[in-house]
Amino acid sequence: AQSVTQLGSHVSVSEGALVLLRCNYSSSVPPYLFWYVQYPNQGLQLLLKYTSAATLVKGINGFEAEFKKSETSFHLTKPSAHMSDAAEYFCAVSLSSGGSYIPTFGRGTSLIVHP
């Protein structure tokens, strides 16, 4: 079984401030982990993924995430927030099931960026 918990349904930051979105997972085996971003009325876009290679994963738009097995965490960070980063962010965990991957998504965190 696998599950994902995103701490905080809303995170508010000022433009230029550090962005930190938290994600903790539960999995019986080492999982694949993802962050997706969703802008209003659009589909989800893959930001980055962890697939058991480097624990620090760099993604698009200046985001990165670090896989910490001991903490079962995969938090998303960005050094300096831009207004254009305002969106919904989803963490997901995925395990193989008969050769296919069925992900479990967190409930999402809405990032609000103030000028």
Interaction site with another protein (CB under 8 A): 32, 34, 36, 41-46, 49, 51, 90, 94, 96, 98-103, 105-108
Q: Which is nearer to another protein, 19 or 90 (CB)?
A: 90
Query: Using an 8 Å Cβ cutoff, are 115 and 49 in contact?
Result: no
Query: Using an 8 Å Cβ cutoff, are 90 and 38 in contact?
Result: yes
Token pair recorded at residue 34: 């993802």
Q: Which is nearer to another protein, 45 or 80 (CB)?
A: 45
Q: Which is nearer to another protein, 59 or 62 (CB)?
A: 59
